[in-house]
Structure 1
Amino acid sequence: MDSKEAKRISKFLSLVLRHKPEQIDLKLDNAGWAMVEELIEKCNSHSIALDVDKLTEIVDNNDKKRFVFSSDKQKIRANQGHSLQVDLGLEQKEPPVLLYHGTAIRNIDSIKEKGLLKGERHHVHLSAQTDVAMQVGSRYGKATVLTVNTDLMYKDGLLFYQSENGVWLTDYVPPKYIDFKDL
């Protein structure tokens, strides 16, 4: 499978596993899991050519590790980023001292005023690597990376989780924990 096809299928899987399973009449359980067999069948019936080998290749090679199989490989789900109500079973975890958030420069004034909001997603996404944060931010325009004092947030009682693919998650980042000095 070429990279263009893999990217197209991966974007479609993100859509149906994170936001709109109804687009292909896919059923997700409360934890966001879909049956692999049903996903493949529904994708194929909606002109997305998919089989177990292609799906495995996408899960294994996705640079952001967006998807995960259950231990028996019978189910699949997105690791995070859902706009649907799902319970990913995340446990609270102490974050590193600093984490990073990539965003478009045009969003800085709003972030200075309101902080980082989760919007329609379950959580604000933070990264342990600045290059990953920059890559995420560049999807939305000219990007910048914000440094978040997660150690202080945690000490102040704000909760953090880490998804299976290493993304750090929190409900909200107030402006006082964000370093804006270089912006």
Structure 2
Amino acid sequence: MQTEISKLISYWLRHNPKDANIVLDAYGWANIEDVLMALKVENIELTKADLIELSQRFDKVRWKIDVEASKIKSTHGHSIKVIQEAPPQTPPKILYHGTGIKNMDSIAKDGLKSMQRQYVHLAETIIMARDIGSRHGKPVIIEIDTTRLLNEGWHFYKTEEDVWLTKNIPAKYLDF
């Protein structure tokens, strides 16, 4: 049940806050009380403490919670437009993207695209990329030379989960 609740909250915070009558600010922050009220409408009773505990139970960081301001936001994965709060950072020289082998033809042709999300997601380690790629079938790891991208004007943002975000990357920057 906790996984389903977490996915529901993530869906609202990443993709469709209107579905739950939640208002996000320009940076993606929502009032915790609004999220708790939306859960109540779904017959899910949680307190603020329960929500904080739930966010700490999972192996990956899904949300950022500002206890003092009583706000919550998804750390990444947005399909709706949100402004990155942190300034761009310099990533490691190599980042990785994990995907399924079934996606390779389109990536080789069109590059990495954010698809329904606001940004392309990149991993710091091969292991992390492999784990992500495994969600899409037999995993394939794509290596990205970030130095070339930085030199050509790309910006990178690091999340709390060590996921790097950037705009679409043409195939010429990818090493399969």
Give the letter aligned to residue 47 of structure 2: D
Q: 1:82 aligns with which of 78, 81, 84?
A: 78
Aligned equivalents of 2:154, 2:78: Cα separation in 1: 21
* Corresponding residue of 2:59: 63
Give the letter aligned to residue 17 of structure 2: P
* Corresponding residue of 2:98: 102
* Corresponding residue of 1:38: 34
Give the superposition deviation at 1:82.
0.8
Q: Is the 8 A contact 1:43 1:49 kept in 2?
A: yes
* Corresponding residue of 1:124: 120
The 3-state SS of whatever aligns with 2:135 is helix
Q: 1:159 aligns with which of 135, 155, 160?
A: 155
Aligned equivalents of 1:71, 1:167: Cα separation in 2: 23
* Corresponding residue of 1:17: 13
- Identity over aligned pairs, percent: 37
Q: Is the 8 A contact 1:100 1:130 kept in 2?
A: yes
Aligned equivalents of 1:48, 1:144: Cα separation in 2: 39
Aligned equivalents of 1:77, 1:67: Cα separation in 2: 5
* Corresponding residue of 2:139: 143
| Structure 1 unaligned spans of 5+ | none
RMSD: 1.6
* Corresponding residue of 2:47: 51
Q: Is the 8 A contact 1:36 1:73 kept in 2?
A: no
Aligned equivalents of 1:55, 1:24: Cα separation in 2: 16
The 3-state SS of whatever aligns with 1:116 is coil
| Structure 2 unaligned spans of 5+ | none
Q: Is the 8 A contact 2:98 2:141 kept in 1?
A: yes
Q: Is the 8 A contact 1:18 1:84 kept in 2?
A: yes
Q: Is the 8 A contact 1:160 1:169 kept in 2?
A: yes
**TM-score, structure 2 normalization:** 0.92
Change (3 A) 1:154 1:76: same
* More displaced stretch, 44-53 vs 10-19: 44-53
Aligned equivalents of 1:116, 1:27: Cα separation in 2: 30
Does structure 1 residue 173 correspond to structure 2 residue 173? Answer: no
Give the superposition deviation at 1:49.
3.4
Give the superposition deviation at 1:71.
5.3
Change (3 A) 1:33 1:118: same
Post-superposition Cα deviations, 1:117-161, rounded to whole Å, max 9, x if no partner, equal 112211100010222212222222222221111122212332211
Post-superposition Cα deviations, 1:161-182, rounded to whole Å, max 9, x if no partner, equal 11233210110112122111xx
